[in-house]
Structures are given as C-alpha cells and as structure tokens.
Structure 1
C-alpha cells in the first residue's frame, strides 16, 4: 500500500514529466509541425508509453503545447499599451500578436492540422477578449465599423494572422514583411463604413 509521502512524490514526478513533455512538444512542433511522437518523447527524455499515459492522442499533446505557448504569449500581450486612439492601439496589438505568431508559426500549423478551427479560437480567450474590448472602444470613438458582427470581425483578424503564419512558413512572405502586411489588411477592414459599399 502506498504511503502518504509516496503519493505526493508520484504526483510531483508526474507533473515534472508532463512539463518536460509539453516543453519538448513546443520545441519539436515549433521546428517541424509534423514532428513524430517518438521525436517528442525522445526530446522529453521519456518513453512512448509515458507520453501516451499523459496525452492519449496527438491532438491532446498539440493542444497542451499550444495552451502553454499561449500562456507565455499572454504575458507579452498584456504589456502592450492599448491607450489612446484605438486605431494606433490596434496597430500595436497586431504587431505584438504577429511577433508571437511568427515565433510559433510551425506550432500553429501543427494545431491547425490536429484541432478544429473553432477549438483553436476557443483557446485564445485572453487575446480574443482584449481585441473585442479594443474594437468596442474604437466603435465608441467612431473609427471602427459597426455594420458587421463582432464575432465576424474577430474571426477575420484571427484568420489573417494564421494565414500570414502559413504564408511565412511556406516561404511566400518574408517574416519581416508580415507585420506590415497584416496591419495594412486589417486596419482598412476595421475602418468605419459610412455605407454598405464604402468607408470614410
């Protein structure tokens, strides 16, 4: 029968093992979105059985790696200055968001291959909420459009960021150009529309 001291030690060992696996998954999938489970297990210093004991499917492991990356990214985004004109704040937020996407484009590609798009969006509650609040402020300032649903606007921005990551990963867009292109795409899309066919 296990002693009371043994159980906490096993839990601590399991937590350390999970942390190593998630860290290895971030590293391996960040370098190659098609990285094999064997490669991730080897990088984590564990066997396949141990890895599958914590993450029964590839999708669960990819999701854990993405959540861990998003948690780290949230700290960066929380430091972005969103005061002042909402248009300038959106530019700063997009540039910071893009830098995070650029750093983990391969990981995002792995997530897109393993997880439904809706699930990926669900895993971004902090960034999504921050962007929604900024858009509403811009709408109150009269600089952002109000003729389209908020969920649509946020979804379009999400797809632009992920699409840019795919283009960079495929070598069709230089990483140094992606931030500028994202801002040039998103800001006009968000601009206040004076009519269904035009803007100001």
Structure 2
C-alpha cells in the first residue's frame, strides 16, 4: 500500500511540474509573441510555447485571462528589478529618475502593450510602484528638495502619467523632455 501511494504521489508531482512548465512556457511565449503581434491568437501563442491550444486554456480560461496573467507577470518582474535599486543613494530626484528610467527600459525590453482586459486591474497592479514612488517623493519633500505644496500621492500619479505620455514622443526627445518636466513638477518652490 505504501508503494502505491508513493508512486501516485510521484505521478502527481510530475504532472504538477509539467503543468508548471507549460504555464511558464505559455507566459513567456505570450510576452514574446504579443510584443511583435499584439492581436496574436491563442493558437499562435500556443504554437510558440510548444503546447496545444487546449493546454493554454487549461491554464488561462480566456485570452483576456492570459493577457491579465502576462501583465501580472511583467509587473512582478519589474518590482524585482526595483528591489535591486539603491534608492537611498543620491538625491530624491536621482531616485525618482532611476525608478522612471528603469521602468521605461524594462518596457522597451518587454514592449507588450497594455490591453483593455489587463487595464481593468491596472490601478491595483500599479499600486506597489506608486507606493515606492510616493515614498521617494516624500523623502524629497522632507529634505526640502521637492515641493510641499502638492500631496506626494498626487505627484506620484502625475509622474506615472507623464512617464506613460513620454512614450508617445520621438525616442531622442522622450527622456530629456520627461526629465525636464519632472524637475519642474517636483522641485521645491523657490523663495521670492
């Protein structure tokens, strides 16, 4: 009886490991395929992942569910990159620009566009990023580097919106324009 349970347990673990591999392969394929072809079908993604369409649907009940999983996966990866940054070195402005530039570089490497299905959870998905930015802005407000006339949370929202908008500019103008705008938005009021 013990041998049968061990065999069954081994089979279950092997199936679970296979399922985990196919789910991971599907997510990686979706990130790659959707970066080139945002309207790619589930079948195209399945082929790129080396799995069947039915396998994709076993993990993600709809294309929208797959797109949400892709957005969640990329957010987790970005947060892991942020954890590697030393945001206490230098000025608060240095830290804000490091956060923004790291995020923009990340999305250049993973140019999966934001989808309507994933956008429904964007506020919740962005919250850890907004919290990190807000904390950095508050540091700048405490040390007199940033304006105290506006709430840190509003400044964080404005910074995120400006970073998204800067993506619409020509590449050579995008970063300098964004940096200039953020300096003007965040800088402390000058005495008159």
- The TM-score, its normalising length taken from structure 1, stands at 0.80
Greater length-normalized contact order (CA 8 Å, ≥ 6 residues apart)? 1
Q: Quick one: distance in 1 between partners of 2:156 and 2:63?
A: 28
Matching residue of 2:80: 75
Write the deviation string for residues 65-123 of structure 1: whole angstroms up to 9, x where unpaired: 12222232233322333223212222222222221122223x1x2x3432236x22322
Q: Quick one: distance in 2 between partners of 1:32 and 1:136?
A: 40
- Asked if structure 1 preserves the Cα contact closer than 8 Å seen for 2:130 and 2:157, the reply is no
Decide which moves more: 14-23 or 180-189: 180-189
1:38-117 pair list within 5 angstroms: 38-82=43-87, 83-105=89-111, 107=112, 109=113, 111-116=114-119
Matching residue of 2:11: 6
Identify unmatched segments of 5+ residues in structure 2. Answer: none
Shift of 1:41: 1.1
Q: Quick one: distance in 1 between partners of 2:119 and 2:69?
A: 14
Identify unmatched segments of 5+ residues in structure 1. Answer: none
1:4-43 pair list within 5 angstroms: 4-43=9-48
Shift of 1:125: 4.2
Q: Which has the larger radius of gyration?
A: 2
